[in-house]
Structure 1
Amino acid sequence: MPKRAWPGITAALLLLMLTLPRQVRAEADTVRIAQPYGLLYLPSYVVVDRHMIEDRAVVAGLGPIKVTLTRLASGPAGSDMLLAGDADVVMGGFGPALTLWDKTRGKQKVRGMLALCSSPLLVVSTDPRIHSLADFTDRDRIAVSAIKITDQAITLQMAAAKQWGWDARFRLDPLTVAMSNPDGQAALLGGLSEVRNHAAIIPFSIAELESGKAHLVMSSDDVLEPGSTSVVVYASAQFHDPNPKLYAATARAFEDAIDWINAHPHEAAAIYVAREPRKEGADWIETMIRDPALIRFGATPRGMQAHADFMHAVGTLKNKPENWKDLFWENMWTKDGS
């Protein structure tokens, strides 16, 4: 081979070496997850602790994946992180998920990745005067994870419309104050706060009821179809579109986690209390996981269209989905959802 050919060959090999890694690493190498506190978000802990996204990424032919987890006070806080580009996958109730779907378009378009579970929201009180919605006065306060758009706030609007009529649907809104579920429990049971009522998810609602200091005022099952989706995992087009393999691996990993929880409730409870220590212990958490009246983990969206219809009717959503599938990315479209 003529010597003058070597420089050209060397340059070509160098160019190939520089471009090949970029071709292999065409997708992101990190999945940043953000979630609130509570047993409803257990699949996220399982996904992270059992490295399920990393395992699915290997099957998909992707390179090493780094997974991070941030915990937040509420679903809307996760929405803010998603819009700021500080998270790839976030979790929250149907309220924050639908609100973000309504507000985003184009590159920031947000859709659901999958549902996580259904679990009744319980309104709990330590005030002996309050046993129904009719007992609330302007002086009372109800802790919710965030005002206006969370499941707690929307459920109270539904309940108010049922109790006093459509025109009174916002009657309870001025009574709500924003507190994370852990802070709401502490305020309720501590007895030193003006907050003596809490719209809470499990395990906080159950701990409050079992304390001997509180009683049940209402359940979301009184106004929502039982079994309706409580928590949604959602992601923006910024993660979904350029990372088809990683997105699919992440979605499948969350479904893997749900299946694993349903098959291994004892081990799942241990993972939860390791992440969110409870003095009641893992057996207490396992009892809840095994009780379908308290929680059912499942990826299929349920009642999302009805949730969206109500939020559109009250003006929280400007846009109304024609079908529940409009709210989710394509990996959910084959599900028998609603």
Structure 2
Amino acid sequence: MSRDKRFPGLSRFGRLAGGVGLSLSLLAGSLALPTVAHAEGEIRIAEQFGIVYLLLNVVRDQQLIEKHGKADGLDIKVDWTQLSGGSAVNDALLSGSIDIAGAGIGPLLTVWDRTHGKQNVKGVASLGNFPYYLLSNNPKVKSIADLTEQDRIAVPAVGVSIQSRFLQYAAAQQWGDKEFNRLDKYTVALPHPEATSALTSGATELTGHFSNPPFQNQALDNPNVHVVLDTYQLLGPNSPVVLYTTEKFRAENPKTYQAFVAALAEAAEFAQNDKAAAADTYIRVTKAKISKEDLLKIIDNEQFQFSVTPTGTLQLAEFLHRVGALKNKPASWQDYFFADPRLGQGS
């Protein structure tokens, strides 16, 4: 019996998951396509949903790229777009639709591996260290070992999103490396806002959501939702979200690139040192329906660190190579990040 017949409410989820499969095909095909070149002084940035993209909100709100460009004698035009899922972001980067991709470390590692020796996509900076939660509204699910065919877990992109990679890492810890993708069949692609609504309503067959802040915190306000897995317990403090670009863009637009990294570093210092002002920025830019008080409860703690320094990424990269998800084995985090002294001592 097909999944849609057993779970009729998942037909829309299935179409979304199918779209991710198409997106992966496009990714493979786009490796041969040249990126669209443009003159120095233009940058197109793709972000996704959640507080983890707050540094980009600060950069946008304070026009920091434009500021650092002018300091170097360059007027920079900045275009912003919002996508959902690492597959869509990677497709946009490789097709030349965007210059800077914002996504999880999982999608970066995937595209770094596939473009190695070609477009040579690498990381630009981290957006900080944040815990991600796997949530469930199924009272029988206390750990990933309790997941069954009756469960469906929302992730931004099936298989390649950082949430999917975290789930694979956890599965390997539970059942061994050969079973790393054991839970992939339970995942469906859905943006965080929609997944949060579905999980908390309990009106669909969705029983799980591998979320991010603030969506995971808002979902936990519902007494029927609980934490199944905390990524800080799984991997320790880590940088789940990063920014990355092609070698071509960095080489052909050095002033624009440097202005962008300088803007990120300034935004990180601002957000880390004044989280109240950062919260105001997030609410103003995203128009999020969350109070400043509730937002500060999430970000004003030691687990939230706004920083451009990548942390705890190599452990996941080594795992993905070990299970065959990456062909190229990185010797260090610097293999998949462009060199920049502002990134500090990463890991």
* Both structures adopt the same fold (TM-score exceeding 0.5): yes
Distance across 2 between alignment mates of 1:70 and 1:245: 22
Map Cα deviations across residues 124-160 of structure 1 (whole Å, 9 max, x no partner): 1111121111211122111111111111111111111
| Cross-structure match for 1:18 | none
- The alpha-carbon deviation at position 334 of structure 1 amounts to 6.6
Give the residue type in structure 2 aligned to 1:39: I
| Cross-structure match for 2:264 | 254
| Cross-structure match for 1:13 | none
| Cross-structure match for 2:201 | 190
The answer to whether the Cα contact below 8 Å between 2:55 and 2:264 also exists between their aligned partners in 1 is yes
| Cross-structure match for 1:317 | 326
| Cross-structure match for 1:154 | 165
Distance across 2 between alignment mates of 1:208 and 1:114: 29
Please provide the CA RMSD for this pair. Answer: 1.6
Structure 2 residue 67 is the aligned partner of structure 1 residue 58? no
Superposed, which structure 2 residues align to 1:235-254 within 5 Å? 235-254=245-264
| Cross-structure match for 2:292 | 282
The answer to whether the Cα contact below 8 Å between 2:41 and 2:77 also exists between their aligned partners in 1 is yes
Superposed, which structure 2 residues align to 1:173-252 within 5 Å? 173-224=184-235, 226-252=236-262
Structure 2 residue 345 is the aligned partner of structure 1 residue 336? yes
Distance across 2 between alignment mates of 1:264 and 1:133: 37
SS in 1 for 2:127: strand
Distance across 2 between alignment mates of 1:263 and 1:38: 20
| Cross-structure match for 1:112 | 123
SS in 2 for 1:124: strand
SS in 2 for 1:329: coil
Q: 1:144 to 1:229 in 2, by over 3 A?
A: same
- The alpha-carbon deviation at position 183 of structure 1 amounts to 1.3
- The alpha-carbon deviation at position 31 of structure 1 amounts to 1.1
The answer to whether the Cα contact below 8 Å between 1:123 and 1:199 also exists between their aligned partners in 2 is yes
Q: 1:333 to 1:50 in 2, by over 3 A?
A: closer
Superposed, which structure 2 residues align to 1:5-154 within 5 Å? 27-62=39-74, 64-105=75-116, 108-154=119-165
Distance across 2 between alignment mates of 1:252 and 1:318: 32
Distance across 2 between alignment mates of 1:28 and 1:52: 17
SS in 1 for 2:340: helix
Distance across 1 between alignment mates of 2:188 and 2:340: 36
| Cross-structure match for 1:269 | 279
Which one of the candidate residues 327, 333, 337 is aligned to 2:336?
A: 327
Give the residue type in structure 2 aligned to 1:183: E
Distance across 1 between alignment mates of 2:274 and 2:306: 12
Distance across 2 between alignment mates of 1:156 and 1:242: 37
Counting aligned pairs with the same residue, the percent is: 37
- The alpha-carbon deviation at position 327 of structure 1 amounts to 0.8
Distance across 1 between alignment mates of 2:316 and 2:341: 17
Q: 1:221 to 1:263 in 2, by over 3 A?
A: closer
Distance across 2 between alignment mates of 1:216 and 1:124: 5
Distance across 1 between alignment mates of 2:41 and 2:154: 39
| Cross-structure match for 2:312 | 303
SS in 2 for 1:108: coil
TM-score, normalised relative to structure 2: 0.85
The answer to whether the Cα contact below 8 Å between 1:266 and 1:283 also exists between their aligned partners in 2 is no
Stretches of structure 1 lacking an aligned partner (at least 5 in a row): 1-25
Structure 1 window deviating more from structure 2 (184-193 vs 273-282): it is 273-282
| Cross-structure match for 2:181 | 170
SS in 1 for 2:128: strand
Distance across 2 between alignment mates of 1:50 and 1:177: 36
| Cross-structure match for 1:7 | none
Distance across 2 between alignment mates of 1:43 and 1:312: 30
| Cross-structure match for 1:15 | none
Stretches of structure 2 lacking an aligned partner (at least 5 in a row): 1-37
Distance across 2 between alignment mates of 1:240 and 1:168: 38
Q: 1:30 to 1:333 in 2, by over 3 A?
A: closer
The answer to whether the Cα contact below 8 Å between 1:141 and 1:175 also exists between their aligned partners in 2 is yes
Map Cα deviations across residues 2-48 of structure 1 (whole Å, 9 max, x no partner): xxxxxxxxxxxxxxxxxxxxxxxx95221111011000000011111
The answer to whether the Cα contact below 8 Å between 2:272 and 2:307 also exists between their aligned partners in 1 is no
How many aligned residue pairs are there? 310
- The alpha-carbon deviation at position 278 of structure 1 amounts to 3.5
Distance across 1 between alignment mates of 2:197 and 2:103: 21
Distance across 2 between alignment mates of 1:43 and 1:71: 14
- The alpha-carbon deviation at position 75 of structure 1 amounts to 2.6
